[in-house]
Chain A
Amino acid sequence: MRGPSALSLSRALTRRPHHLHHHHHRALFTTRGQRQQQLAALLTSSPLNTPKRTYSTHPPNAKLNLPTDYSTTPLLCHTTTTALTNPELPPETRNGTTKRMNLFQAVNDALATALAEDESVLIFGEDVAFGGVFRCTGKLAETYGADRVFNTPLTEQGIMGFAIGAAAEGMRPVAEIQFADYVYPAFDQLVNEAAKYRYRDGACGRSAGGLTVRMPCGGVGHGALYHSQSPESLFTHIPGLRVVMPRSPLQAKGLLLAAIRSNDPVVFMEPKILYRAAVEQVPAGSYELPLSKAEVLKKGDDVTVVSYGQPLYKCMAALEQAERDLGVGVELIDLRTIYPWDKETVLKSVRKTGRCVVVHEAMVNAGVGAEVAAVIQEDAETFVRLEAPVVRVAGWSIHTPLSYEQFNAPDVARIYDNIKKVLGF
């Protein structure tokens, strides 16, 4: 169920030069050049000279809400050495090489790796054959053949049911839903079928394990109601599904390979704003990163910040500023797998810091933050160490509105403010 702007979020937002090939009705219309001139003249001529409306920028005097600088953030491995010293990587990977990739290239690399090493892997979805609207499946059909990499008709419920059936008969399908916003027709198949398959089949032993469903998620600045959603908590409520959201190219490759090899169905959500923006050194060859294992990205003694996906970059910027301004140490944890999640890593951290801020982009009501906060206060050993209420920084309880996204998505200022708040409690 692709919406109107399927490709926009990959191109328009990532500031790539646009290649315009546009010569409609040449015989009927003035040329494109003439039209451009007219428009340009109109838009710059004095009576109509209005400031150019920019829709993704930052306020001139902002100190906190600055655009994320992906080229310097410590969350990405800018050198081969930092990439290969990751202790979670297997020894043979650590002794290998790396390649600079963005997120869509890392996803592509993982898919190519899976196709090459396991002939039961299939890849399909809407517009997948030409490379997908976000380019994640580029060249895969050419390299691995149209029998294993193919377009489906435009039906999410069909894609999901098809994937479950293929998985139940021994394949490892990787189904793509073009946008997370369009997964809902597939909800029945995911909730009632994929999640319950093993439970229902009992001693017969079949399952939908081997199924991975990938979907781009999250805001990009102007996706509005139907190109911005981050519906992970709808899936974390469903026992039987593993829900994963990577923060970076290196993480995406390892987690996606683990998801494809997992014998449980995995919902793999890719923050689409990172497809082109997040670039880092990614180890070559095949490697896995552990599912259901959180990662401490930065140590600190005074506050624990828990997040996943794109907001981690904002958390990092906020905590760096908070540490500078307030002289405190903030610990940052990436959940990575949002369900079944790694409670121990979070509890261990909060027992140390006594303060916790949970950050996610999706609506605050019944979101992942609610689950994390509840688990923290339920654990007696952690509860007695709490110095402040656990706070959530998340989207408000609204739909993602076009013009107001800057006031809705958690930003550096709101995260910073809440770090301050728990410290001042």
Chain B
Amino acid sequence: MKRIRPSSLLRRPVRVSPTTLQHVHRRTAASLSQRPDSTHLKFPGALTSPFSNTMKYEVPSNYPALPTYRAIDQHGVVVDPNFEPDMTEEEVIKHYKDMLTVSIMDLIMFDAQRQGRLSFYMVSAGEEAVSVATASALTKDDVVFCQYREQGVFKQRGFELSDFMNQLFANVKDPGKGRNMPVHYGSRELNIHTISSPLATQLPQASGAAYALKIQRMQNPEMPPRVVAAYFGEGAASEGDFHAALNIAATRSCPVIFICRNNGYAISTPSLEQYRGDGIASRGLGYGIETIRVDGNDFWAVREATKKARELALQDGGKPVLIEAMTYRVSHHSTSDDSFAYRARVEVEDWKRRDNPIARLRKWMESKGIWDEQKEKEARDSIRRDVLKAFAEAEKLKKPAIKNMFEDVYEELTPDLKAQMRELSEHLDRYPEEYDFGEFEGGKASLEQ
């Protein structure tokens, strides 16, 4: 895939004259005067509010909860009469295998962390459909910002097992150059920005990125229409950045799809202590954003909702859309967490037994006659073999060169950094036995300029 390079296409500067802006401002202000005998409020902050002679507070609980869209039910039976699968048999199987791959990789890497093979890992058990199905409705040119539990997005967009493993082992092939913790994947080729641990910081960035795509297409209509997809959890939606992101995306009409994985827990904090009100979806409406709540364990519902979201996001010159995908964090928060310290084991067991996105799509596939126990076994065996192979290959590679620690702080090494690099190099020469540099590409030589 050839990456679109917007900067090279930006040859036509658009000039906005200050007088135009003044004109717009004057006209808007003039139209906002409150007329006598008007039935509606016409103040700047509330343009269509009818006057009422009843003093009454609105009570959130008087409003019904927003519905949760399903295409198929827990048994894989189609419940939406308008639902028509829009994938070929092969495509469905590919996506099913993407989910399976992520879940098998998760289990192996979780155990590998427990064995001390890598420092950290996060699984996404129970949330595979949210990642894979949303990604399935995006194009390769769309731009993605993840939180950290969206390995399914990477997989669906073409991240190879070796790409995962190279990052996890921070080896010489890791595009993060050995600097980031495991699971902080990124791919320029796949248009996925590299994961950052702080929560919700990616959301206003997604709004800005979407604005960039919108302006770039205005300036060059030959560019394909593109959206930004931004993932986050319901816990992250408590951060100020979430609110800033939705508001700025709405006011600047940005083509961005905000995708919330509402999995019920932010580490130990259940959603009950995270927010009151009707989930994350109700906030979208508050910001004037078209919103849907969807069953996150239903691959088809998530895909349908995201397809529609992409269409909406590109309408009217661009606008934000919010998807709240309801699911359950079957796993511990990370390899560092033992979630049975704060939730009952039976709660988790119940969820696993009752509903699972992989099992649900499998049931649907079996009902269509395109999958069976034999295929399941073959797929699992082959995926497991592939994961272990990629694991072993990545683990034996060297770590990137030590000099990488000083590079990319700035575009070029500053005099300060060059001096520090030299100081470290000389120090390692004086005390070679005090350090392990054999496992780094080139040993300590990379520090010599």
Q: Which residues of A are interface residues toward B (Cβ below 8 A)?
A: 1-12, 18-22, 24-29, 32, 35-36, 38-40, 42-43, 48, 50, 52-55, 57-59, 61-65, 126-127, 129-131, 133, 151, 153-158, 181-182, 184-185, 222-227, 364-365, 396-399, 401-404, 406-408, 411-414, 417
Contact A62 B122 (CB under 8 A): no
- How many A-B residue contacts, CB cutoff 8 Å? 263
Interface size class on chain B is 35 or more
CB distance from A396 to the nearest CB of B (A): 5
Interface residue? B251 (CB, 8 A): no
B379-406 interface bits toward A, Cβ cutoff 8 Å, 1 = contact, 0 = none: 0100010001001100110011010111
CB distance from B43 to the nearest CB of A (A): 28
CB distance from B440 to the nearest CB of A (A): 8
Given A1-B200, A224-B180, A398-B406: A24 touches B331 (CB 8 Å cut-off): yes
Contact A21 B345 (CB under 8 A): yes
Given A225-B197, A227-B197: A24 touches B107 (CB 8 Å cut-off): yes
Extra A-B contacts (8), CB below 8 Å, given A8-B119, A36-B111, A182-B198: A2-B267, A7-B333, A127-B267, A153-B235, A154-B199, A224-B181, A403-B170, A404-B179
Please tell me which one of the listed residues A65, A156, A184 contacts residue B435 in the complex, with CB atoms under 8 A apart: A65
Question: Which of A127, A396, A402 neighbours the largest number of chain B CB atoms within 10 Å of its CB?
Answer: A402
Residues of A within 8 A of B117 (CB): 43, 52-53
Report the Cα distance A181→B405, complex, angstroms.
19
Interface residue? B187 (CB, 8 A): no
Please tell me which one of the listed residues A130, A156, A185, A402 contacts residue B181 in the complex, with CB atoms under 8 A apart: A402
Contact B334 A8 (CB under 8 A): yes
Interface residue? B63 (CB, 8 A): no
Given A28-B358, A404-B178: A6 touches B273 (CB 8 Å cut-off): no
Nearest A residue (CB) for B195: A4
Contact B111 A8 (CB under 8 A): no
Contact B352 A25 (CB under 8 A): yes
Residues of A within 8 A of B404 (CB): 401, 404
Report the Cα distance A133→B332, complex, angstroms.
13
CB distance from B214 to the nearest CB of A (A): 27
Residues of A within 8 A of B396 (CB): 48, 50
Report the Cα distance A222→B119, complex, angstroms.
7
Contact B181 A4 (CB under 8 A): yes
Q: List 16 A-B contacts (CB under 8 A).
A: A4-B120, A5-B181, A8-B335, A8-B336, A29-B107, A57-B436, A61-B433, A62-B435, A151-B268, A153-B238, A155-B239, A225-B180, A225-B197, A397-B420, A404-B404, A414-B427
Contact A6 B267 (CB under 8 A): yes
Contact A397 B384 (CB under 8 A): no
Please tell me which one of the listed residues A1, A7, A64 contacts residue B431 in the complex, with CB atoms under 8 A apart: A64
Please tell me which one of the listed residues B197, B395, B440 contacts residue A4 in the complex, with CB atoms under 8 A apart: B197
Residues of B within 8 A of A153 (CB): 235, 238, 269, 273-275
Report the Cα distance A36→B110, complex, angstroms.
10
CB distance from A276 to the nearest CB of B (A): 13
Nearest B residue (CB) for A179: B197
Given A64-B431, A126-B266, A127-B268: A3 touches B197 (CB 8 Å cut-off): yes
Residues of A within 8 A of B388 (CB): 38-39, 42
Residues of B within 8 A of A35 (CB): 107-108, 111
Nearest A residue (CB) for B267: A127
Contact A43 B334 (CB under 8 A): no
Contact A404 B402 (CB under 8 A): yes
Contact B352 A131 (CB under 8 A): no
Report the Cα distance A53→B266, complex, angstroms.
31
Interface residues of B in 94-120 (CB under 8 A from A): 103-104, 107-108, 110-120
Contact B115 A396 (CB under 8 A): no
Nearest B residue (CB) for A22: B110
Report the Cα distance A26→B359, complex, angstroms.
12
Question: Which of A26, A32, A50, A131 neighbours the largest number of chain B CB atoms within 10 Å of its CB?
Answer: A50
Interface residue? B144 (CB, 8 A): no
B146-163 interface bits toward A, Cβ cutoff 8 Å, 1 = contact, 0 = none: 001100000000000000
Report the Cα distance A61→B330, complex, angstroms.
45
Please tell me which one of the listed residues A25, A40, A131 contacts residue B125 in the complex, with CB atoms under 8 A apart: A25
Contact B341 A130 (CB under 8 A): yes
Report the Cα distance A265→B152, complex, angstroms.
44
Report the Cα distance A153→B125, complex, angstroms.
24
Contact A413 B431 (CB under 8 A): yes
Report the Cα distance A401→B125, complex, angstroms.
28
CB distance from B375 to the nearest CB of A (A): 14
CB distance from B177 to the nearest CB of A (A): 8
Contact A1 B111 (CB under 8 A): no
Given A222-B120, A398-B417: A417 touches B178 (CB 8 Å cut-off): no
Residues of A within 8 A of B338 (CB): 7, 19, 21
Contact A59 B333 (CB under 8 A): no
Report the Cα distance A40→B391, complex, angstroms.
12
B405-449 interface bits toward A, Cβ cutoff 8 Å, 1 = contact, 0 = none: 110010000101100100010011011011110001000000000
Contact B114 A133 (CB under 8 A): no
Contact B336 A9 (CB under 8 A): yes
Contact B179 A399 (CB under 8 A): yes
Nearest B residue (CB) for A220: B119
Residues of B within 8 A of A399 (CB): 179, 409
Interface residue? B164 (CB, 8 A): no
Report the Cα distance A226→B238, complex, angstroms.
19
Interface residue? B80 (CB, 8 A): no
Given A396-B406, A404-B405: A38 touches B384 (CB 8 Å cut-off): yes
Residues of A within 8 A of B337 (CB): 6-7, 133
Contact A54 B180 (CB under 8 A): no
Contact B119 A417 (CB under 8 A): no
Report the Cα distance A158→B242, complex, angstroms.
13
Interface residue? B340 (CB, 8 A): yes
Nearest A residue (CB) for B409: A398
Question: Which of B170, B183, B198, B434 neighbours the largest number of chain A CB atoms within 10 Å of its CB?
Answer: B434
Given A6-B333, A11-B336, A29-B107: A62 touches B433 (CB 8 Å cut-off): yes
Contact B405 A398 (CB under 8 A): yes
Report the Cα distance A129→B384, complex, angstroms.
39
Please tell me which one of the listed residues A39, A50, A54 contacts residue B116 in the complex, with CB atoms under 8 A apart: A54
CB distance from A235 to the nearest CB of B (A): 18
Given A21-B340, A154-B239: A65 touches B269 (CB 8 Å cut-off): no
Report the Cα distance A39→B117, complex, angstroms.
11
Please tell me which one of the listed residues A2, A12, A32 contacts residue B335 in the complex, with CB atoms under 8 A apart: A12
Nearest B residue (CB) for A133: B267
Interface residue? B230 (CB, 8 A): no
Report the Cα distance A127→B268, complex, angstroms.
6
Interface residue? B44 (CB, 8 A): no
Residues of A within 8 A of B103 (CB): 24-25, 29
Residues of A within 8 A of B170 (CB): 402-403
